[in-house]
Amino acid sequence: MKRICTICARGGSKGVKNKNVRLLLGHPLIAFSIRQAKLSGLFDCVAVSSDSKDILEAARTYGADVLIERPAEMATDESAKLPAIQHCVKEAEARLGVSFDIIVDLDATSPLRDVKDLNLAVELFEKKKGSNLITAAPARRSPYFNLVELNSEGYVYLSKKLEKPIVRRQDSPKCFDMNASIYVWTRNAFFEKHTVFNDDTLLYEMPEDRSIDIDSEIDFKFVEFLMSQKRDSYEALFV
């Protein structure tokens, strides 16, 4: 069984300028995902896709196996991510002359994952045999209790109503926040279904302190703080 890890990182970023090569603990952000993938021992190939020469050069420096130049039309603010991942996989396969059975995508903006998260998520996926797997953390808000929406008249209502109202958040059905950390697909599901959610999508649960997705300056500073608390474990990625 052959596995590929893709890491797709655009050069343009509105929330945090140049975030994928911005330094954390002295290393560019994208380097953490590359090193986690390499140290997991799971992959026949770690491929990085980007429209940015700076990102691709950083990926080369930190050990990516294949560098893919992403077409400009796949790197706009409106571009969906799945087509970019598919392009990355096909380009890597063409260069290497192989076909991958399992596709794993790591989001460069979620660097707090452990290598063990990656290994356990793939292990769960291959054991349970779903079409795909996502990672998530327990949600702070519940659509059954304190997550609300506005109607057309400006009044609020619970996002999801139950026949018997919930009076304590702890009694509501368990909900999760996707953390954009690890995505796993079988090859068939990846190229045929074109979606993140299927009837047999699996979930690997991660704790909140490893589930921050950097989308703003506050996120970046929070990740810096959390990494500083476990500096030795993150610096060990680069030894």
Predicted local confidence at residue 80, as pLDDT: 82
The answer on 183 and 160 residing in a single domain is: no
Q: How far apart are CA 126 and CA 184, in angstroms?
A: 10
CATH of the domain at 95: 3.90.550.10
The answer on 102 and 209 residing in a single domain is: yes
The answer on 78 and 10 residing in a single domain is: yes
Predicted local confidence at residue 226, as pLDDT: 97
Could you state, in chain order, the average pLDDT of each consecutive group of 10 residues for the chain (239 residues)?
96 83 97 98 98 96 96 75 94 97 97 98 96 96 91 93 79 91 96 89 97 95 96 96
DSSP string, 130-149: -SEEEEEEE-SS-TTTT-EE
Residues 6+ apart with CB under 8 A from 104: 3, 4, 5, 6, 37, 42, 43, 118, 122, 182, 183, 184
Number of structural domains, the chain?
A: 2
Task: Confirm if 226 and 209 have CB atoms less than 8 A apart.
Answer: yes
Predicted local confidence at residue 222, as pLDDT: 96
Q: How far apart are CA 53 and CA 181, in angstroms?
A: 24
The answer on 108 and 167 residing in a single domain is: no
- Put simply, whether the predicted model's pTM sits higher than 0.85 gets the answer yes
Beta strands 23-24 and 27-28 are: antiparallel
Predicted local confidence at residue 75, as pLDDT: 73
Amino acid at 171: D
Does 66 reside within a domain?
A: yes
Domain that holds residue 153: 140-174
> Residue 234 phi/psi, 5° resolution?
-80, -35
Beta strands 148-150 and 3-8 are: unpaired
Does 239 reside within a domain?
A: no
